[in-house]
Amino acid sequence: MHPRFLRQIVPVVALVTGFATSATALSCGNDASGFANWKAEFAALAQANGVGQAGLNALANAQYATRTINADRNQTGVRYALDDFIRIRLGSIDGFAAQARRHLERNRNFFDQLSAAYGVPAGVLLAIHGMETGFGNNMGSENVINSITTMAYDCRRTEFFQPHALAALLMVDHGALSPAQLGAFHGELGHTQFLPGNALIYGRDGDGDGRVDFYNMHDALASTANFLRQKGWQPGLGFQEGEPNFAVIGEWNAATVYQQAIALAGRAIGN
């Protein structure tokens, strides 16, 4: 394994995973009115979990993210059949795969290195990259800190998002996330849309510049490969439905049609 892929942002896995229980005592709210009070409560908890001044400043400056809440409330929960999902998200498997192969050929050495280090085929990584952000063309336009703290404050999924908000503040502290960074509606970061808690744990420096930046394609894809490997990817084994690595795609996204589309696109893209 190439040593640069071994570097982690900061070893705070225990902090993040140990955080959830203590978070349940915090207040929550369904509109902007309680956000300032909540930020003060959350600052104390963040401090107790090792967040330093830069992260605390980012929290203090966070604004209630109305667009994020509107997007969250408007999620339809529609269940698509696989064919419809592929048509809506990818256009077609063949067209999507052809586009992905152009990215693959432009970065052949990099994908070979990732495959050697993590055992995850290029096709799977590119399928995720294309599915999540159109190969980095659409990484979102909402302030990450505003979004993730608002979701942590919002009563609907506060326990799920509070560890991610804490992780985002820790990333600010460690220079891995700018307080001004833009991302998707729920605080997802960069090329493959890592939530901050996962970014903190699975982040890797893929381009060897000494820092982990999810807005750098090499770092984001090395981190994605690392995530899949840590979740049980078995090098050299299949990833279609019924094969050993298909379940690992489910660790990335819980939706069956997503997993099926990634498997089919990954195979069509090839290595």
Residues that bind Ca ion (CB under 5 A): 205, 207, 209, 219
User: Is 265 in contact with 123 (CB distance < 8 Å)?
Assistant: yes
DSSP 81: P
**182 closest CA partner among 133, 134, 254:** 133
DSSP 80: P
Q: Using the minimum distance from each CB to Ca ion, give the nearer residue, 165 or 217.
A: 217
From the CB of 97, what's the least distance to Ca ion, in Å? 28
Structure tokens at 198: 């996962």
* Separation CA 147–CA 263 (nearest Å): 30
**258 closest CA partner among 75, 84, 46:** 84
Q: Using the minimum distance from each CB to Ca ion, give the nearer residue, 101 or 211.
A: 211
From the CB of 220, what's the least distance to Ca ion, in Å? 9
Cα pseudo-dihedral 233, 234, 238, 240, rounded to 10: -20
Q: Using the minimum distance from each CB to Ca ion, give the nearer residue, 132 or 219.
A: 219
**2 closest CA partner among 139, 96, 110:** 110
From the CB of 162, what's the least distance to Ca ion, in Å? 28
Q: Using the minimum distance from each CB to Ca ion, give the nearer residue, 72 or 205.
A: 205
From the CB of 218, what's the least distance to Ca ion, in Å? 7
Structure tokens at 252: 């990335």
From the CB of 228, what's the least distance to Ca ion, in Å? 19
Q: Using the minimum distance from each CB to Ca ion, give the nearer residue, 225 or 263.
A: 225
Q: Using the minimum distance from each CB to Ca ion, give the nearer residue, 159 or 207.
A: 207
From the CB of 8, what's the least distance to Ca ion, in Å? 12
- Looking only at the bridges linking them, the beta strands covering 182-183 and 142-143 are antiparallel
